[in-house]
Structure 1
Amino acid sequence: MIKEMEWNWGTKLVIGMGCFMAFIIVLAVKMFNSSPDALVDNDYYEKGLNYDKEYTLKEQVKMDHASPEVKVGSEGIILTFKAAAEGKINLVRTADKRMDKVIQIKTDEKNRAAIPLTGIAKGRWKLIINWNSAGKSYLDEQEVMVE
């Protein structure tokens, strides 16, 4: 006859604690080896201090109906402004902060600025457009899909 192995409560307790400790160790190793969260902003304090300035610039866009028209085409991202403009565009990739870009812009005679698609990955991008036009400062945010 085959004799069954007897397990007393002390053996079961030690095996259970061992499994729990192994589980905690695996979670700790996984946490330390995981990539940082792209949704967490490291400079949130500075952005909080500048919130009033940004809000005022966004409201200026609404009052002057100055929001630029954004189109994505084969030649790149084309921004059409209401008047001649000069400033910068932050291309923000929410999925990967390392892909973010800052591009200086200046409109042509048709009040258009073009951003070539070279070096810009396909996917959803957030455009933070900060520009000066006719002596006023503006800030606008739009999302585009680069295909």
Structure 2
Amino acid sequence: MNWGKGIIMGMAIFMLFILSMCIYMFNVPVDDYDHQYYEKGMSFNKDHNREEQVIKDHAEPVITQQGDRLSIAFSMPATGRISFMRPSDKTQDKAFQFNNGAGKTASISLKDMAKGPWQLILEWESCHKAYLYHKEVFIK
């Protein structure tokens, strides 16, 4: 084999490599992004203030899982919303309203929830103050 054939073969292999990378890039799933990013950016300060309120008031809830129930103990009676966000599949996301009345514990059934990691977002109001708390939980 002479130099000319080697150069042509090298160029052909390189061109096939570039072509295969182009085909691969077109077949990769599209990056999913939040279409509401601007609106969420506008409310960032409000959310940050609610997260800071949890720290100021030492109001971090205690989350425990007992069998097929998730118990959330608050420092004071609370009313709000619990959101379960599934990192691997957003179609499994769920939200529940709660009002623990005079008690301090809210309980959620986990029977219909898939096992594995979940992002738990708690939004509640207690004593005329708004709170926001994020926690990663693993449902067994």
Matched, 1:35 2:23: no
Distance between the aligned counterparts of 1:36 and 1:72, measured in 2? 36
**Residue 55 of structure 1, CA deviation:** 1.0
Number of aligned positions between the proteins: 140
- Larger Rg belongs to: 1
Q: Which runs of 5+ in 2 are unaligned?
A: none
Encode CA deviations 1:72-107: one digit per residue, 9 max, x unaligned.
121321111122222112212233333332222222
**Matched ranges for 1:75-114 at <5 A:** 75-107=68-100, 109-114=102-107
Change (3 A) 1:26 1:59: same
Q: Which stretch of structure 1 is more off in the superposition, 100-109 or 132-141? A: 100-109
Sequence identity, in percent? 38
- CA RMSD of superposed structures (Å): 2.3
Q: Which runs of 5+ in 1 are unaligned?
A: 1-6
Residue 59 (structure 1) aligns with: 52
Distance between the aligned counterparts of 1:34 and 1:98, measured in 2? 21
2:41 pairs with 43, 48, 59, which one?
A: 48
Scaled by the length of structure 1, the TM-score of the pair is 0.79
Scaled by the length of structure 2, the TM-score of the pair is 0.82
Residue 4 (structure 1) aligns with: none
Secondary structure class of the residue paired with 2:60: coil
Encode CA deviations 1:41-95: one digit per residue, 9 max, x unaligned.
5543333222211110011111222111111121321111122222112212233
Q: Which stretch of structure 1 is more off in the superposition, 58-67 or 7-16? A: 7-16
Residue 3 (structure 1) aligns with: none
Distance between the aligned counterparts of 1:145 and 1:59, measured in 2? 25
2:68–2:111 Cα contact (<8 Å) kept: no
Secondary structure class of the residue paired with 1:98: helix
Q: Which amino acid aligns with 1:77?
A: L
